[in-house]
Amino acid sequence: MKKSDVVSAILSERQTALPRHSSAQAFAPSNIALCKYWGKRDQELNLPVTSSFSISLGNKGATTELSLSDQDRVYLNDEKINLESAFGKRLLAFLNLFRVNHDLHFVIKTQTNIPVGAGLASSACGFASLTRALNNLFGWELQEHELSIFARLGSGSACRSLWQGFVEWHAGLQENGMDSYGERIAAEWPELRIGLLILSEKEKKISSRDAMQRTVTTSPLYSAWPAKVSHDLSKLKQAVQSKDFILLGETAESNAMTMHATMLSAWPTVCYFLPETISAMQVIWKLREEGLMIFFTQDAGPNLKLLFLEKDRDAVQKYFPGIEVVDPYCKSKNA
């Protein structure tokens, strides 16, 4: 099944309708997985092997402004993107799914307030905000789960980036992925904080897309991953419902370490740890031994995301003065 088939199935007769407006814009928050998406059952449609579970980054994310034009142009943080680059091509391929005719061109201007390509889910909020902007421009009035499916076609984790708070991405079973989308979990946890510990802003050497595929095909540990995920998912849901922070933190940290263990056992090895990453982990483990409840998670990059409660903010900032503290529930424009 192709991406264009999914788009046709969802838009049906709306697919040939011209945009209702000449410009539109939308914001989408970045998201951090507490139970990771790592491995695809369908690479074309970004269908995952397992479900996953995330928390939003409040007002940290991407704002995309979309307008009609006579020529395609893309700007990321005011920088013009070469449409022949890998990123430019990926974006154009996504836009082509929604182009009603050959004369319809777009100018896309995306502004992010998180480091791009440093494992902080910039592609997730980028594709999610572009999806919402397209929905506004065309006036499709799609349902939230349909928007999530469109965002997934751009990048898997983007399907969790449409809302604030906790989101579960249901893996789904169908071949066309119509049952594979993000769903907001109705639970508030205003005391929860995420600390962004940026250890390097350099672009990663291997993309999460390539790294996860290499892991699936070469890691002897990957077969243990789905069982680990279903165990962690139920623990996370329990933790959120009962506001059990230790259960949340332990589960998220253990899930991230298990994901990295599958990467370390891939061949050639995928290693996103820098010496600074390991040093920071050791500080966190020591602080925990001393009674400070702080946990971490790590994605496809060397940076850590710290998990703690507002009451411990000062103590955490004493040891990690450089962190940016994010309130996942911080209200923003359209979330």
Residues engaged in binding ligand DP6 (CB under 6 A): 33, 36-38, 46, 52, 123-124, 155-157, 208-209, 299-300
The HSE-up count of residue 5 (CA atoms within 13 Å, CB side) is 8
User: Exposure of 83 by Cβ count < 10 A (0-12 exposed, 13-18 middle, 19+ buried)?
Assistant: middle
52 vs 64, beta carbon nearer ligand DP6: 52
Residue 91: CB atoms within 10 Å: 24
23 vs 176, beta carbon nearer ligand DP6: 176
24 vs 114, beta carbon nearer ligand DP6: 114
Q: Long-range contacts of range 114-118, CB-CB < 8 Å, 24 or more positions apart?
A: 114/30, 114/57, 114/60, 114/61, 114/196, 115/198, 115/201, 116/76, 116/77, 117/203, 117/204, 117/301, 118/198, 118/200, 118/201, 118/202, 118/203, 118/204, 118/301, 118/303
Name the nearest CA neighbour of 263 among 305, 301, 306: 301
**CB within 8 Å of 118: residues ≥ 6 apart:** 198, 200, 201, 202, 203, 204, 301, 303
Backbone dihedral angles phi then psi of residue 21, each to the nearest 5 degrees: -130, 165
Residue 321: CB atoms within 10 Å: 7
CA 209 from centroid of its chain's CA atoms: 12
134 vs 167, beta carbon nearer ligand DP6: 167
Shortest distance (Å) from residue 1 CB to ligand DP6: 16
Shortest distance (Å) from residue 332 CB to ligand DP6: 20
CB 167 within 8 A of CB 182: yes
112 vs 157, beta carbon nearer ligand DP6: 157
Shortest distance (Å) from residue 318 CB to ligand DP6: 29
5 vs 210, beta carbon nearer ligand DP6: 210
Place of tokens 């009609």: 68
Shortest distance (Å) from residue 218 CB to ligand DP6: 17
Q: What Å distances lie between residue 322 and 81, 165, 196, 295, CA to CA?
A: 30, 24, 9, 17
Q: What Å distances lie between residue 233 and 13, 174, 180, 226, 263, CA to CA?
A: 38, 21, 16, 10, 20
73 vs 170, beta carbon nearer ligand DP6: 170
170 vs 209, beta carbon nearer ligand DP6: 209
Shortest distance (Å) from residue 166 CB to ligand DP6: 13
46 vs 135, beta carbon nearer ligand DP6: 46
Shortest distance (Å) from residue 169 CB to ligand DP6: 8
Shortest distance (Å) from residue 300 CB to ligand DP6: 4
What spatial distance separates the first Cα and last Cα of the chain, rounded to whole Å? Answer: 31
Shortest distance (Å) from residue 235 CB to ligand DP6: 16
Tell me which residue has its CB nearest to ligand DP6.
Answer: 156
User: Which amino acid, one-letter code, is at 325?
Assistant: V
Shortest distance (Å) from residue 141 CB to ligand DP6: 26
